[in-house]
Structure 1
Amino acid sequence: MFYEVQIYDVVRVPPNEITDNVNEMIEKILLNNYVGMGGKEYGIIVTIKSIDEISEGIMVFEDGGVYYKVKFTAISYFPNISELTYGFVSSITEFGAFINIGPIDALVHISQIMDDEVSVSGREALIGKNSRKVLKVNDMVKARIVTVSYKGVSNVRIAMTMKQPGLGKLEWLEQKKKSGK
């Protein structure tokens, strides 16, 4: 789920990045420092929506940078356990498939792909032994988030399943609907 979050921080502007446009230089640093980062408090930051307050700059002795207290609004993705989400297969590995669900890739372990024994065909596809269903890069899927782990600000891990009824590759779901099973 996506939310707006308010964040307070002190931003250091290095001497070589100081310009007359304070808003622009602060925004550049915030985008660089925050977008793609994640944690329990703020989720995964997708973008900076607005800079709401900037204090007067403060210079510290023997540091050429300028420090600003900043309040800003960010758009953040908070992955919720049991949340249904759509995504596309971004890569195949020997242990499963990574699904891009927007700001992050989530893992669907090989045991959670389908109700069938799955074999790996190189780095190109996962194939069901009996069903002959194929999952490959760029396939669209519907999956459920089963775990979320925050291991530092740049290491958010999400695990998903596609085994439950109504989940899986969209093509499989459409075929099932047409066949009435």
Structure 2
Amino acid sequence: MFKIFKLFTIGGKIEIPPFLFDQEKNISARIILSEDYEGTITRDFGFIIAVVDVLNVGMGIIIPGNANTFHEVEFTILTFKPIVSEVVEGTVVEIVDFGSFIRLGPLDGLVHVSQICDDYISYEQVGNRFIGKETGKILEVNDQVRAKIIAVSLGTGRSGKLGLILHLSGSTSL
């Protein structure tokens, strides 16, 4: 089994503005790092969920004409990096005519209507759900499901896409 959630210790540079000078350096650094990193996606780390700890904040450098101080920092982040073929559990958060969106930690993945089950299914707009024609199986919002990651597209910034499949071999439920 793969580890989708991981901790990494990384380094970087930050600018601390004057309005944070009355805080301890670690607290100011954590505020800046949280704003800069949390909720972003990188190819190396995946989705950065949280800045867990600030380990070291270097001595500040002052540049003439700039009110901010500049610091080298070392900190720990908690990340979510989805891996193709990993089986994950999530919650159905939205159903649309072309598929369903499953919440997997900090990201939502799409299960296309053709990947929901082996049965012919129909979309019921009134009940906002999918129903299997032969089996009568139902998929609706708030259902807990097990899915397999079949595609990962981690851009940069704050967006990423996951492709999922629900009809796993041996599975008897949606």
Same-fold call, TM cutoff 0.5: yes
Partner of 2:99: 96
**Per-residue deviation at 1:90?**
1.1
Give 1:52's match in structure 2, choosing from 39, 55, 61: 55
Tell me the SS of whatever aligns to 1:88. Answer: strand
- Does the 8 A contact of 2:26 with 2:56 survive in 1? no
Partner of 1:77: 80
**Per-residue deviation at 1:19?**
2.3
Q: Percent identity?
A: 31
Partner of 1:153: 157
Give 1:110's match in structure 2, choosing from 110, 113, 128: 113
- Does the 8 A contact of 1:82 with 1:144 survive in 2? yes
Query: How many equivalent residue pairs?
Result: 170
Structure 2: distance between partners of 1:90 and 1:58: 47
- Does the 8 A contact of 1:108 with 1:161 survive in 2? yes
Displaced runs of 4 or more, over 6 A:
none
**Per-residue deviation at 1:167?**
4.3
Counterpart mapping for 1:1-181 below 5 A = 1-122=4-125, 124-167=128-171, 172=173
Alpha carbons of 1:15 and 1:166: their partners in 2 closer, same or farther (altered >3 Å)? farther
User: If each structure's helix is expressed as a fraction of its own residues, which one has the higher value?
Assistant: 1
Is there any run of 5+ residues in structure 2 with no aligned partner, and where? none
Deviations 1:10-54 (A, max 9, x none): 112222333231111111221222122112211211222221221
Residue identity in the other structure for 1:84? V
Alpha carbons of 1:118 and 1:69: their partners in 2 closer, same or farther (altered >3 Å)? same
Q: CA RMSD in A?
A: 1.8
